[in-house]
Each structure stands twice: as structure tokens, then as C-alpha cells.
Amino acid sequence: MAKDKFQSPLTSTFVPLPIEDVDTDQIIPARFLKATSREGFGENLFRDWRFDQNNNPKDFILNDPSYKGAILVAGKNFGCGSSREHAAWAIADYGFKVVISSFFADIFRGNAMNIGILPIQVSDAFLNQIWEASKKNKNAELEINLEKQYVKIKDTGAQESFDIDQYKKKCLLNGFDDIDYVRSLKDKIESFEKSRTVYFQ
């Protein structure tokens, strides 16, 4: 397996980040892109928003122990900017399994799904409902059902469906990367090859 299977349904508290146009350099500043493995980037997630130049914590949501969970709920146009994979790596290494926004940059969306993070695009109206739930209860929970493709706000029961490429959905649920997926079809491929009649001239 390339990665862990996505556990669905997933119920978790969430971290609200109501900021639009969060780009990949804000997610993981370029000066930290020195490693080629995926580990260790989480400690520098949103580094310049979390700490000042003297490494003192700032007033930022990830420094507030009241907010925690496997879900990051971000503002519109999340993951814009450069195509660096490290942005998705940092989010995963920090411990997030899901990112919710009303719009994602396409390259970030692909990078996220390739390493097992589920990016869920919801309407602006539903995103606002999530913000409101967070304001009323810091321990509000979201239920993510990948099989049935919906997000539910547990406190209110409100839910919304989301779209996902069916190939990527299967990969997430099985912990497959592209090579793993092909390997999962080994028996079918071999059966097809045996059924072929090859003529030589």
C-alpha cells in the first residue's frame, strides 16, 4: 500500500481557518523545502503565521489548544500559488486527513489526494454553516462519509454532498497509489492476456 486507507466515515472536531487565497508558500514557506521525503514538514505548517522571527508563538488558530482534529476547514481558493507537493505533505504530516474549502487550486487538490488527504469542496453557504457551528462550539464535529460522499455538521444535522473522481475515491478507500491500483488488477490483466489469441505472420 502507498498509504493508509482513508477511514470512512470519519467523525472529528476541526480547525477553522476562515482565510481566503491561502497559497502554498503560506502553507509551507520555501525555505523549509530542503528534504525530499514527506516526513517532518508538519512542524513548519503555516510557520510564518504561527511564529514570529524569534520563534515565539503568535495569536493563530493552530496555537490555540481549544481547536484540534483531523479536519482543516479553510477559506475559498485554498492551495493556490506554486505547485509544490510539500504543501500537501505538511498538512498530512501535521495530522490532517481532510481539508474542506469552497474552492481548491487544481494542482493542490491532486497533490492532496495522491498522498491520502481528502479535499472536499462545498458551497459557500455550507462553509458558512461550518464557521457558525465552530463559533458556537469549539468542539463541534463534522462527519465525513467518503463512500456516500457527504459532509455533516453533527451539532445541527445539516449536510451537503460533494463530488470526487471515482478513481481517486477508490484509491483513497484502499490506500492505493497509481501503481498499487494497477497491481490490484493483476488477476484481471492476466485473465485478459490469457484470453487473447495472438497470430504471428
Query: Can you give the pTM of this predicted structure?
Result: 0.86
**Nearest C-alpha neighbor of 78 from the set 162, 130, 22:** 22
The whole-number average pLDDT for the span 31-49 is: 83
Which helix (H) or strand (E) segment holds residue 100: the answer is strand 98-101
Which percentage of the chain shows pLDDT scores above 70?
A: 84
| Average pLDDT of every residue of the chain | 88
| pLDDT mean over 173-190 | 64
Mean pLDDT, rounded, for 34-47: 81
Report the candidate in 55, 50, 47 with the shortest Cα–Cα distance to residue 67.
Answer: 50
Q: Residue 115 in contact with residue 93, Cβ under 8 Å?
A: no
Residue 192 has pLDDT above 60, yes or no: no
Q: Structural domain boundaries of the chain?
A: 10-195
Q: For domain 10-195, is the CATH number 3.20.19.10?
A: yes
What percent of the chain is predicted at pLDDT more than 90? 73
pLDDT tens for residues 61-70? 999 999 999 9
Average pLDDT of 35-55? 86
Length of the chain: 201
Distance between CA 3 and CA 193 in Å, rounded? 29
Q: What pLDDT is attached to residue 82?
A: 84
pLDDT, one tens digit per residue, over 74-107 is 999 999 988 889 999 999 999 999 999 999 999 9
